Amino acid sequence: MIRKMADKDRKRLKRKIHIRKRLSGTAERPRMTVFRSNKSLSIQIIDDDKGMTLASASTLEKELHGIKKNVAGGGQLGEVMGKRCLEKNIKCVVFDRSGYLYHGIVKAIADGARKAGVQL
């Protein structure tokens, strides 16, 4: 699987595997993971003990379709995710950047979640 990927994607997948060796979400502190594609952004809150997604937000959703895939849009999506976390009584999460650099959109998502009141 890794052999057929482009070099940039292969490096990101290696970083992702390296990060996930040490990072795990629990019921008290679930994992917030980020995914960026060329067209959209998505965030999930995952409890790795149960193997369940507790909450999610994506720019593919009908009500969030107007959010663009840029730094400002990442901040908006992070705030939406933070509000959804607080609705489900999730106050503290572990941030999983999925091999992406903590810069730009990924950082904006984390800052948006912090702004909404979630502790990362």
Q: What is the pLDDT of residues 16-71, one digit of tens each?
A: 998 888 888 888 899 999 999 999 999 999 999 999 999 999 999 999 999 999 99
Q: Which CATH number fits domain 7-116: 3.30.420.100, 3.40.50.2000, 3.30.750.24, 3.30.70.20?
A: 3.30.420.100
Element (H, E) at 71: helix 71-87
Location of structure tokens 């193997």: 51
Going from N- to C-terminal start, the domains of the chain cover 7-116
Q: How far apart are CA 11 and CA 115, in angstroms?
A: 31
Q: What is the pLDDT of residues 18-32, one digit of tens each?
A: 888 888 888 889 999
Amino acid at position 82, single letter: G
- What is the per-residue pLDDT for 45? 95
